[in-house]
Structure 1
């Protein structure tokens, strides 16, 4: 079985193409399942769309869901289309997000930490001028937020769990036990993590998470799935077979997918 659960489209303001384009790309690339998971609105904001180049507006959300559900029906028999969303995680606003998601028939919700200390993790200059101690605290705060997201019960999948290295590859070499503690909690709460191939589009190259993190995740019984994080239809399913092979080499025997928030396992 071949799938991709992490895709975006034009509504988020920084991706190219319509939802249909991603579905057609998935069919062309031989996928059995394609998940649509655009960025969640900033539900806690008083403004409808405070960041139009980062995520859709709150008023766009119902139409987004309706379009995916309509395409799900249209493409029956050709490919299975799943309704997902990539959710930001702000602990102080978690219940606001939870209530919004409960109103819709999501197959899965990806929980991704994009902000640490109020700054986007992909902001290229966020590390400039920080001491080693401050860098350590930043990394530990990042993993504390991911741990909280695992405990929240809101998500089936946790997104790109070492993506803070995207524009700062040195992030990976900051030594802390926070990562291992977080993986242990993810395993205990039985949440899946994705292998996300969009690291290829950043300075760090490669995938999220790195192989050593995947090895540790396996030791804690963490389930895995696949997402390209495509912001362009041309990237749908990117590196799927390479990821499959690498997971086998690490020792994984299965990976998972979700329908109606129920988890299913398939051999790798």
Structure 2
């Protein structure tokens, strides 16, 4: 049984359903003791571009206020934490970090969906990627982790590498895993990808994580309240970790933003 989940979305990202109360109620039904909300941050692009898959800067205070109200209401039934899932773009990250701090967010998880600024035409990590894209992904992620701001790395294997050089993949992902281990950042086994039969979570990636000795954590990545009741997918995620002897954490240490 899952006892803690730090990866939960809300409709403010424009690609999730249900409301915050439904997520909380289902978490309680599932026996979850700690529920962390980590909807996508707004991206503070200098040209004013508004991402269609994230809340706007103007919506962010309402997100935090709503969750604070519910955290008080459900106190004694479940522990609720307020965070964000963020991309790491060096040019705007300091401003984004400042916004999250000002809002009183408790934690960030790193979810690198884009290899380039959306406002300039995003290169999505889920698109077919070769060696250049893989190297850039690892460069960006390791630089982001080195800020010390991220509680864990969400779907670390989200880059869809279609290059034929398996040694290159192994070397680059070993570099990512070693950086995460040195910084004591857990890697997420992503239930959304597992349940939807996506290309992640990847056996070959978590084989590398096992070689390096990374800590892992299971994240529901809930975009629907029903996801929090999915015991079958959770059991499969646990199996991925146990089959490789990975150290599976039930809870994460929230890092100061």
Say whether the fold is shared (TM-score over 0.5).
yes
CA contact (8 A) 2:174 2:212 kept: no
Q: Does 1:140 align with 2:135?
A: yes
Aligned to 1:265: none
Map 1:4-153 → 2, pairs under 5 A: 4-47=5-48, 50-51=50-51, 53-118=52-117, 119-121=122-124, 126-127=127-128, 135-153=130-148
Q: Is the 1:107–1:259 contact (alpha carbons within 8 Å) kept by the matching residues of 2?
A: no
Give the alignment's Cα RMSD to 1 decimal.
Answer: 2.5
User: For 1:154-206, what per-residue CA distance to the aligned partner results, in whole angstroms no more than 9, with x for missing partners?
Assistant: 211111111123xxx7469754121111111111111122111111465635x
1:108–1:259 CA contact under 8 A, matched in 2: no
Structure 1 counterpart SS, 2:39: coil
CA contact (8 A) 1:109 1:154 kept: yes
Cα separation, 1, equivalents of 2:125 and 2:177: 22
Greater displacement, 229-238 / 138-147: 229-238
Return closer, same or farther for 1:68/1:172 CA change in 2, 3 Å cut-off.
farther
Q: Distance in 2 between matches of 1:36 and 1:172?
A: 37
1:258 Cα deviation after fit: 3.7
Moved over 6 A (4+): none
1:7 Cα deviation (Å)? 1.1
- Tell me if the contact between 2:151 and 2:254 (Cα under 8 Å) persists in the aligned partners: no
Q: What TM-score comes out, normalization by structure 2 length?
A: 0.85
For residues 53 and 116 of structure 2, the distance between their equivalents in structure 1, rounded to whole angstroms, comes to 18
* CA displacement 1:23-66 (0-9 Å, x = unmatched): 1111122211111110000123453x712x30000011111111
Query: How far, CA to CA, are the matches of 1:172 and 1:110 in structure 2?
Result: 30
Out of 151, 156, 159, which is 1:156 matched to? 151
CA distance in 1, matches of 2:152, 2:167: 25
- In the TM superposition, what is the alpha-carbon distance from 1:137 to its structure 2 partner? 0.7
Change in CA separation of 1:67 and 1:173 when aligned onto 2, cut-off 3 Å:
farther
Instruction: State the shift of 1:253 in Å.
Output: 4.1
1:194 corresponds, among 155, 168, 188, to 188
> What are the ranges of 5 or more consecutive residues in structure 2 without an aligned counterpart?
none
Secondary structure of 1:35's counterpart equals strand
1:205-216 pair list within 5 angstroms: 205=199, 207-208=200-201, 210-216=202-208
CA 62–258 in structure 1, closer or farther in 2 if over 3 Å, else same:
farther
Gaps of 5+ in 1: 128-133, 263-268
> TM-score scaled to structure 1, two decimals?
0.82
Question: What is the aligned length?
Answer: 247
SS at match of 1:164: coil
Distance 2:224 2:108 in 1: 20
